[in-house]
Structure 1
């Protein structure tokens, strides 16, 4: 991770060190206040009445009062310093933007690029400065309430702290200006549009969690390579984000939720989306997402059409018919092709809403920042922050259907059990690359930086439904066990049931209900969360920064991942997912299949060796390699069987370790089976060649002699005939004749 002050020189760091929160001074005041209380024995008396004509004695201010005064002065000091630094950075970036205007498009100036990078790095260092002070205020307030419990102030001052301009400031315009500078230097302002319908493209979409403290660093890295998409171009208020609301429909059995969770073929999700902060919105998008199995070569489909806001409720109730919609489109001058495409989707979704009895259930709301070159869809990235999920139908109020609305009435109160705020940003990387082409190096650096945690198939709809409607769901996603999301889910959990008679006793005594504090968080119990979490988001110590660290690899990782040609770098460290038992069994079945083949080949070779040893009791004096044909075949097959056993065991251990770590990714070995197949082919080829040579020699030995042999000597018949017979009946008979 980038350390604070890494991009600043020593002089600047020394200046910034004096602007930090005086944590030690505040801590000393707390100790002094504690000693004053101990010396007094009880809390000092404070009269509830006063008089304007009676002069109160002036004495030294108590330590507790001086603590609050110093706390206010520290807030003002940090606020003043932060504003000054931001003002300086904005002046520098505006000046740089004027310089970039004179540069021809695409002719990147290395000096200007470095200046832009330095400005971005200093902004990140300033954000780190703000975060350290923000954390310091939290810690000192918590310590105050712990040491001085009679005068708690944490709750009040935290609310006061959150309203400070250096905490709640919006600096989107700064990032937009920086993005335009990088875009001008790269030359991606104009170009030829890349048709997304081109054949031979491999499309992949991966989702990641980003810690709040790392969001600016991730944005800065991305905008150096992709421009920020501006939703309000031409406006004075430049922003790098847009508010997005999506209302998801489902029925009482949560059919759509479970279908998307289980990734069933053709599982759908129906939602109504609108952009901007207008209430009510003017234009709504009715969308349907259909899941398709990627391993079959199919792609999931997202379809949508637009409807005016005043037509949404009639459409959901079936009162706004297709004929009426077609008449409205014709009045707007739409073409027959557009009307036909609209009509098909309009009718299908309306039929599904009617047959499945779909109603508004959960809403997701977030700020989306998009990064993409307008004419190139090779790499598209979106970052969603301030992610909030809301229960559309209030527990103690009329549902949307009863109230005649298609989304929750904003005038109704929003209890904590009907809203959940996701603690991380959600980054989505969409790659559309020609087959065989790797992702750009900067994308690999981003994914391997440690700032991202891959969460396979993460869904805002699924998370919101599982958190806010736990009594209706029958299964939950694997990421609910992550320690980083547990507090946010517990905030939405109902309080445990009180003892019987306790409320009545409180009412009889006239006691007011106790206000819930942060300390009561542990008392909340969410039905989806167990006692012990099984997953954990990557901690900051695991972050290595962009291109600054490499993961250590074991022997099996080196063997399978370091060969040429190298596979694309892994996307990023992933949040572990639940591993089904069938995954382990599949690994074992693969191992046993390889082992079965190896045992079969080895058994054949061993049987041939045993047969050769029993049948051959002697060899001819003129030994040829074809005389040992059986032994040769066995010695060729046995090493192949041993090699196959070794390979099967190696792959089994490698995959078992990856599964045990719950980091299952692409663990396919493309070269091992090819190598074994080549070894088997070579062995069979060698056996074929040896067999052909042996067959040729046997044919040559059985050929008749056409030339007339010379007459043998007189003694020849006595020795020649037994010799020929001895080759047929054995050596003892030949020896007997020779002795005779």
Structure 2
């Protein structure tokens, strides 16, 4: 569908005149393109040499100037209308908030409807902003395509990204709306959660979902109508979300990753977590232990809190449990009981022992904006919504490791290379239900999960996703969800380049371009990143830009194809379908799973089955002709015709057997060595098919000739030797 038609279909009728005038801008581009083509022809107009005579104006410059004037006017129009809408929404929301402060029970229902209308209008405003931004992006792309001599898209996108209506973050309005809903429902006010010290034996039913970035605001609004935004620490909390950093521990063999991926009993995950955009002060040491639910067990979680300056000593084993317990107890008010202190000591000792025994080090960090929805003191339903998720290697590839630098988290001054960071393309929604036995979840939860806005992803883990992407050369298996097209495209952006001996086919180049164009929005290289802002603006009003920025990485380089060194190399090399170009930067090598061996064997057996079938027919015909000749006259034509057919089919069967064996051995070697090369054969099946067609054609031709000669012989005279029989005698020297 053309974008102009799409814009008309998605536009709101009452705002019809406030959208970008896409058609007018497109017409101006066409005029500029026509003038550009006419100006490329030789001009024979007289040259102006007098200063008093006005020079003839260049038509192309005039048309393009009109385009940019119109473009600036449209940007200002959208910005002005957005500011008006936001001001009206703030005024309406303030009115609802004031009315909710002392609402009467009979008026609560009407105020709830007013609050819902404000939320719906806010979603419409977000769609308006996203649609207009997409329109400007499309028209700039069309300009550069039709006027390649004067590209402007990259520059103007950066200018557009700095507009107030694009940069605006109005998540504070969402938080006010949350308080209004909470007040009208009669929920308790959110309170500051004191330092829990230890949370051990937490058991709950947790389900994780993916949410498209374009649906995040809709999901938030649905949740706000039933749960308030929960503030863990209001003093450090602004808007509806807070930044969360988690540093995961693992060893050089990624033992914890593989145990968690395989869901082995008692598989453990250890991480260091802190909230807020500033540096860590208090660090939560979290331990999660996997249990088998089919055995009636549930996974457990435990957490202790340490001062930031004590984390390195804790990981190195220099921080004793007695000292840690004493310091933790001194921070608590009121002082904890003996049971709480013993629980702290148990978790501290166990985690420190595991870190020392498995030689665990900071490996990977996850960073995201978390919005938590929960009624205080009511853990029956708790929802976490994580957006702008990114994963990063904790140890720089070119700089010192955390251990060498005496740190437990990455030095923020070090640059982040392209292969050290990946951005997850979806938001993650986690629903935790703590219900009594036999109780069903609330109806609104079922309504949300069945709305089509969520995609359930069982056992999804940010840590597993990050390690599978950033440590692809070290992992032995990857999670099932990497088959998602959008997720895989995001992984390709962080993958290392293919070695020089691997060459893409024309189809690979086409798919690579699609993935690159689809995921350019995930490349947050900065304002000049072209389409880098498109993904951000899927929810610009309620979202927050990531704090980490992707460092410019290397670009793809041209790879020269090596000359074939042998017959097999020549046969199986890529046919010259297109010019050999490098894939876009970041291509994840395909992992050879065991099923690949089985597929190779099945292909080999399929070829053998066909060859044996043809060979059996040929052998049966030879046996039949030999038995017939032993009983009848040796000059009988029919048996010799049968022999000729068998001699034609038998070499075809032998060639098929040889081809199947050679290809099977070659592919087995390629799979065993995990060679990054193409193992498909585009010539062999075609050649064998033509060979079978030629053999059957020869048999049919001989049969027709014999039939014609037999008909002619039956009309008069003694029948001459049949053509097939004569050919057979010449072949055998008879």
Whether the 8 Å contact between 1:231 and 1:242 is mirrored in structure 2 is no
1:482-539 CA distance string (max 9 Å, x none): 0121222111122334589xxxxxxxxxxxx9984999995235335589xxxxxxxx
Compute the displacement of 1:341 (Å). Answer: 1.6
Compute the displacement of 1:391 (Å). Answer: 0.9
**TM-score (norm: length of structure 1):** 0.62
Change (3 A) 1:92 1:191: closer
Q: 1:354 maps to what in 2?
A: 356
Change (3 A) 1:191 1:134: closer
Q: 1:304 maps to what in 2?
A: 303
Residues 199-348 of structure 1: pairs in structure 2 closer than 5 A: 203-231=204-232, 233=234, 238-279=238-279, 281-329=280-328, 332=331, 335-348=337-350
1:111-153 CA distance string (max 9 Å, x none): 1111111111111111111111122122222222222222222
Residues 364-375 of structure 1: pairs in structure 2 closer than 5 A: 364-375=366-377
Whether the 8 Å contact between 2:210 and 2:456 is mirrored in structure 1 is yes
Residues 126-145 of structure 1: pairs in structure 2 closer than 5 A: 126-145=125-144
Compute the displacement of 1:168 (Å). Answer: 2.4
Change (3 A) 1:486 1:156: farther
Change (3 A) 1:111 1:330: closer
Residues 500-515 of structure 1: pairs in structure 2 closer than 5 A: none
Residues 655-670 of structure 1: pairs in structure 2 closer than 5 A: none
d(CA) in 1 for partners of 2:553 and 2:433?
Answer: 52
Classify the secondary structure of the residue corresponding to 1:287: strand
Whether the 8 Å contact between 1:362 and 1:390 is mirrored in structure 2 is yes
Match of 1:453 among 443, 452, 455: 455
Whether the 8 Å contact between 1:37 and 1:43 is mirrored in structure 2 is no
Whether the 8 Å contact between 1:265 and 1:293 is mirrored in structure 2 is yes
Classify the secondary structure of the residue corresponding to 1:114: helix
Whether 1:146 and 2:148 are equivalent positions in the alignment is no
d(CA) in 1 for partners of 2:588 and 2:132?
Answer: 36
d(CA) in 2 for partners of 1:355 and 1:297?
Answer: 29
Match of 2:588 among 518, 523, 527: 527
Whether the 8 Å contact between 1:107 and 1:185 is mirrored in structure 2 is no
1:362-408 CA distance string (max 9 Å, x none): 10000100111112211111100111111111111111111111111
Residues 84-99 of structure 1: pairs in structure 2 closer than 5 A: 84-99=84-99
d(CA) in 2 for partners of 1:190 and 1:177?
Answer: 13
Classify the secondary structure of the residue corresponding to 2:234: coil
Classify the secondary structure of the residue corresponding to 1:158: helix
d(CA) in 1 for partners of 2:252 and 2:138?
Answer: 45
Whether the 8 Å contact between 2:274 and 2:284 is mirrored in structure 1 is yes
Whether the 8 Å contact between 2:203 and 2:300 is mirrored in structure 1 is no
Residues 594-633 of structure 1: pairs in structure 2 closer than 5 A: none
Q: 1:466 maps to what in 2?
A: 468
Whether 1:388 and 2:449 are equivalent positions in the alignment is no
d(CA) in 2 for partners of 1:521 and 1:275?
Answer: 41
Classify the secondary structure of the residue corresponding to 1:400: coil
Change (3 A) 1:404 1:38: same
Deviates more, 1:517-526 or 1:152-161: 517-526
Change (3 A) 1:283 1:55: farther
d(CA) in 2 for partners of 1:35 and 1:15?
Answer: 35
d(CA) in 2 for partners of 1:465 and 1:263?
Answer: 16
Whether the 8 Å contact between 1:208 and 1:428 is mirrored in structure 2 is yes
d(CA) in 2 for partners of 1:70 and 1:518?
Answer: 39
Please identify the structure whose Cα radius of gyration is greater.
Answer: 1
Q: 1:669 maps to what in 2?
A: none
Q: 1:166 maps to what in 2?
A: 165
Compute the displacement of 1:56 (Å). Answer: 8.0
Q: 2:108 maps to what in 1?
A: 109
Whether the 8 Å contact between 1:476 and 1:528 is mirrored in structure 2 is no
Classify the secondary structure of the residue corresponding to 1:433: coil
Whether the 8 Å contact between 2:425 and 2:490 is mirrored in structure 1 is yes
Change (3 A) 1:41 1:163: same
Q: 1:478 maps to what in 2?
A: 480
Change (3 A) 1:203 1:317: closer
Deviates more, 1:207-216 or 1:161-170: 161-170
Residues 682-701 of structure 1: pairs in structure 2 closer than 5 A: none
Whether the 8 Å contact between 1:481 and 1:529 is mirrored in structure 2 is no
Q: CA RMSD in A?
A: 3.3
Compute the displacement of 1:435 (Å). Answer: 2.0
Change (3 A) 1:241 1:43: farther
**TM-score (norm: length of structure 2):** 0.63
Change (3 A) 1:69 1:349: same
d(CA) in 1 for partners of 2:306 and 2:219?
Answer: 36
d(CA) in 2 for partners of 1:439 and 1:88?
Answer: 37
Compute the displacement of 1:293 (Å). Answer: 0.8
Compute the displacement of 1:322 (Å). Answer: 2.1
d(CA) in 2 for partners of 1:433 and 1:399?
Answer: 45
- Structure 1: tracts of 5 or more residues without a match: 1-9, 45-51, 193-200, 501-512, 532-579, 582-740
Q: 2:403 maps to what in 1?
A: 401
Classify the secondary structure of the residue corresponding to 1:292: coil
d(CA) in 2 for partners of 1:329 and 1:231?
Answer: 19
d(CA) in 1 for partners of 2:223 and 2:238?
Answer: 18
